[in-house]
């Protein structure tokens, strides 16, 4: 037999093409694409359905201890099982450094968790919260060289945030070593100051989380991060953009030709601040940072997805249960600033974007594929192995039924969170079959693979992270004075 598997008669859609054809798979890779391919050992009929590259969710928090010591609800089993049911075949999750941690040890720990449990492929972005001399000089450069070619930094959260000096330190390592820096951009002191005023006045309910993280906090920090990155000629990616103000700062930079990339997430398309204002503490389920805004902000995010401001659409799956182990550390009395931040979403990420984006003509099919898979593979150094349907690529594929009507209900999802912020939402389109390296992972809603069968994917240095070669006038003067190795 020429092929281990042939997926026949699918409407095969990539970021640039749509072709009615067969896909032949051998030893986990795509071996042929064409018409009337010879018979495979296994045959799957995709007639009447789309075939997309498997989704890549490049922003997930799985089995991660938060900076305030709260454990995510999903481990690498439930997290990846849930991802696979929604059409995602690769997750890039965070390996979080807490103060005092050595980075190699952090990664060893995350590897041992994921290896035992993941059912789809995975990679890690680092979170750098303690950029000591050892981290900057030795650990980070070595890890970048070993395939951890992106990391996230925070401008807010007491235990995670870097000040501008530290941001410059990490940007300069990223630039020199060829890594992409992801930035959580919010002005820490504005949030802290507002939070103190609200609490002084007894305003503790979840709804006050939204007002304590104003859009200006996001746009100011976004502009500042971009300025620091620009000074050092270091590309950066602004994660989880929530509103037009932040998006405009990104667009200004992009218009000037800077390598500034951006991501938005389902919560900024489908939730608003009003979802934080519910009976009892239910609004806590929708507390994330930056917070959901309003309908106008949602429309702005849709525009940014359509016009290319955003390159990736990730879930920022940050799963916390609605109890004292997660969202409500202090029970019903938990003030908004102590509610664990984050919402679940990795299983519904692709179905939501397909239904509300493609079927409502906000984006076309190619943009859908680009946003949910291809561009993440490129930005984070996995292309063309991941994110493409091409000869030699991993056979990570989703057969997608565009007509299936689904009412989102947590009891039908596969995460361990206990709720979904999208409960009751009616959508159309859901994966029928999901393949990872040619293995049928999910067949009509049934998991087909063993715990631990996912593989770690080391990543290349992406071209997205290559400096532009543009220096600021001051940096140029410094260079001309003979100080070439100042940073
Ligand atoms: O609220 C959020 N987004 N929580 C997850 C952590 C992060 O900042 O991405
Ligand atoms: Zn963040
Ligand atoms: Zn996140």
Ligand nearest to the CA of 341: 1
Under 8 Å between Cβ of 408 and 420: yes
In a domain, residue 448? The reply is: no
In a domain, 31, yes or no: no
Residues near ion ligand 3 (CB < 5 Å) are 316
CA angle 209, 210, 211 (to 5 degrees): 95
In a domain, 11, yes or no: no
Q: Looking at the CA of 59, which ligand is closest? A: 3
> How far is ligand 1, taken at its centre, from the CA of residue 297, in Å?
18
**Count of domains observed in the chain:** 1
Task: Give dist(CA 33, CA 41) in Å, integer.
Answer: 16
Distance from Cα 31 to the centre of ligand 1, integer Å: 39
pLDDT at 415: 98
Residue 401's SS3 state is strand
**Which ligand 1 atom is at minimum distance from the Cα of 289?**
1
Nearest CA to ligand 1 atom 2: 342
User: What atom of ligand 1 comes closest to residue 157's alpha carbon?
Assistant: 8
CA 23 to ligand 3 centroid distance, Å = 35
Alpha helix locations (H) across 213-270? 215-232, 244-255, 267-270
Tokens in use for 208?
A: 């006050």
Say what the pLDDT of residue 479 is: 82
In whole angstroms, what is the distance from residue 310 CA to residue 181 CA? 16
Among residues 122, 76, 221, the alpha carbon closest in space to that of 436 is found at 122
Residue 295: half-sphere exposure toward Cβ, Cα within 13 Å: 0
Give the Å distance between the CA of 152 and the centre of ligand 2. 8
Q: Per the domain annotation, does 390 fall within a domain?
A: no
What pLDDT is attached to residue 484?
74
Instruction: Please report how many Cα atoms fall inside a 13 Å half-sphere around the Cα of residue 251, on the Cβ side.
Output: 14
Does residue 369 lie within any of the structural domains? yes
Q: Ligand 1 pocket: which of 318, 327, 338 to mutate (most atoms <8 Å of CB)? A: 318
How far apart are alpha carbons 217 and 189 in whole angstroms? 9
Closest ligand to C-alpha of residue 267 is 1
Angstrom distance (rounded) from CA 403 to CA 357 = 14
Token readout for 71 is 């454990």
Candidates 263, 284, 316, 339: which one to mutate for ligand 1, based on the most atoms within 8 Å of Cβ? 316
Q: Whose CA is nearest to atom 5 of ligand 1?
A: 342
pTM score over 0.95 = yes
Ligand 1 first shell, C-beta below 6 A = 61, 184, 240, 288-289, 316, 318, 341-342
| Within a domain: 38 | no
Peptide bond into 242 cis (omega under 30): no
Is the Cβ–Cβ distance between 448 and 120 less than 8 Å? no
Separation of CA 401 and ligand 1 centre (Å): 31
Q: Which are the contacts of 392, defined by CB distance < 8 A and separation ≥ 6?
A: 29, 30, 384
Minimal CA–CA distance to 19: which of 3, 4, 7?
7
Q: Is residue 487, in this structure, part of any structural domain at all? A: no
Q: How far apart are CA 132 and CA 263, in angstroms?
A: 28
CB 195 within 8 A of CB 337: yes
| In contact, 98 and 81? CB cutoff 8 Å | no
Q: What integer pLDDT is reported at residue 478 of this predicted model? A: 86
- 449-to-327, 350, 435, 452 alpha-carbon distances in Å: 31, 21, 10, 9
Q: What is the whole-number distance in angstroms between the Cα of residue 272 and the centre of ligand 2?
A: 18
Residue 375 is predicted with a pLDDT of: 98
Closest CA to 172 of 135, 211, 123: 135
Measured in Å, residue 137 CA sits from the centre of ligand 2 at 25
CATH number of the domain bearing residue 353: 3.20.20.140
What residues make up the domain containing 124?
Answer: 54-381+459-465
Q: What ligand 1 atom has the least distance to the C-alpha of 66?
A: 6
Length of the chain: 487
Give 74 Cα–ligand 1 centroid separation in angstroms. 15
Among 240, 271, 326, the mutation site with the greatest number of ligand 1 atoms within 8 A of its Cβ is 240
Structural domain contains residue 470: no
Per-residue pLDDT of the chain (487 residues; tens, 9 = 90+): 799 999 999 999 999 999 999 999 999 999 999 999 999 999 999 999 999 999 999 999 999 999 889 999 999 999 999 999 999 999 999 999 999 999 999 999 999 999 999 999 999 999 999 999 999 999 999 999 999 999 999 999 999 999 999 999 999 999 999 999 999 999 999 999 999 999 999 999 999 999 999 999 999 999 999 999 999 999 999 999 999 999 999 999 999 999 999 999 999 999 999 999 998 999 999 999 999 999 999 999 999 999 999 999 999 999 999 999 999 999 999 999 999 999 999 999 999 999 999 999 999 999 999 999 999 999 999 999 999 999 999 999 999 999 999 999 999 999 999 999 999 999 999 999 999 999 999 999 999 999 999 999 999 999 999 999 988 888 888 888 888 778 8
Ligand nearest to the CA of 185: 2
With the most atoms of ligand 1 within 8 angstroms of its CB, the residue from 212, 273, 342, 344 to mutate is: 342
Distance CA 456, CA 75 (A): 16
Q: Whose CA is nearest to atom 4 of ligand 1?
A: 342
Q: How far, in Å, from the CA of 343 to the mean position of ligand 2?
A: 11
For ligand 1, the distance from its centroid to the CA atom of residue 438, given in whole angstroms, is 33
From 58, 61, 345, mutation site for ligand 1 pocket: most ligand atoms within 8 A of C-beta: 61
Atom of ligand 1 nearest to the CA of 341: 1
- Which candidate, 216, 23, 54, places its Cα nearest to that of 122? 54
Report the 10 Å Cβ neighbour count for 409.
12
What number does the ligand 1 atom closest to the CA of 318 have?
5
- The total of other beta-carbon atoms located within 10 Å of residue 201's CB is 9
């Amino acid at each position: 037999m020429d092929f281990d598997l042939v997926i026949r008669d699918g409407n095969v859609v990539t970021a640039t093409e749509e072709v009615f054809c067969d896909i032949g798979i051998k030893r986990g890779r795509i071996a042929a694409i064409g018409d009337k391919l010879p018979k495979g050992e296994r045959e799957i009929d995709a007639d009447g359905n789309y075939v997309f590259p498997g989704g890549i969710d490049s922003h997930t928090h799985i089995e991660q201890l938060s900076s305030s010591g709260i454990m995510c609800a999903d481990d690498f089993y439930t997290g990846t099982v849930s991802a696979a049911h929604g059409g995602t075949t690769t997750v890039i999750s965070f390996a979080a450094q807490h103060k005092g941690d050595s980075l190699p040890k952090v990664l060893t720990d995350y590897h041992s968790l994921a290896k035992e449990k993941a059912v789809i492929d995975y990679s890690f972005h680092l979170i750098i919260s303690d950029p000591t001399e050892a981290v900057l000089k030795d650990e980070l450069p070595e890890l970048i060289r070993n395939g951890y070619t992106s990391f996230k930094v925070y401008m807010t959260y007491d235990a995670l945030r870097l000040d501008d000096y530290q941001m410059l330190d990490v940007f300069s390592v990223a630039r020199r070593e060829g890594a992409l820096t992801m930035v959580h951009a919010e002005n820490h002191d504005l949030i802290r100051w507002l939070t103190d005023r609200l609490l002084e006045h007894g305003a503790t309910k979840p709804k006050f989380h939204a007002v304590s993280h104003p859009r200006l906090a996001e746009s100011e920090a976004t502009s500042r991060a971009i300025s620091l990155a620009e000074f050092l000629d270091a590309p950066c990616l602004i994660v989880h953009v929530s509103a037009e103000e932040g998006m405009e700062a990104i667009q200004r930079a992009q218009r000037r030709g800077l390598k500034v990339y951006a991501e938005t997430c389902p919560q900024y398309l489908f939730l608003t601040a009003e979802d934080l204002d519910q009976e009892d503490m239910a609004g806590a389920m929708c507390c994330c940072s930056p917070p959901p805004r309003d309908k106008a902000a949602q429309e702005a995010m849709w525009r940014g997805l359509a016009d290319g401001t955003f390159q990736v659409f990730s879930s920022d799956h940050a799963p916390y249960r609605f109890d004292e182990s997660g969202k409500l550390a202090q029970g019903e009395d938990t003030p908004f600033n102590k509610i664990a931040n984050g919402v679940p979403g990795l299983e519904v990420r692709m179905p939501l974007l397909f239904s509300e984006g493609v079927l409502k003509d906000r984006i076309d099919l190619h943009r859908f594929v680009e946003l949910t898979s291809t561009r993440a593979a490129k930005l984070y150094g996995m292309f063309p192995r991941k994110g493409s349907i091409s000869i030699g690529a991993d056979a990570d594929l989703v057969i997608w039924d565009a007509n299936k009507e689904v009412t989102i209900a947590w009891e039908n999802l596969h995460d361990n969170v206990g709720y979904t912020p999208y409960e009751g939402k009616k959508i159309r389109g859901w994966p029928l079959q999901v393949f990872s390296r040619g293995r049928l992972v999910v067949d009509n809603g049934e998991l087909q693979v063993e715990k631990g069968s996912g593989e770690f994917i080391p990543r290349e240095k992406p071209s997205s992270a290559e400096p532009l070669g543009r220096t600021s006038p001051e940096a140029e003067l410094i260079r001309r004075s003979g100080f070439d190795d100042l940073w």
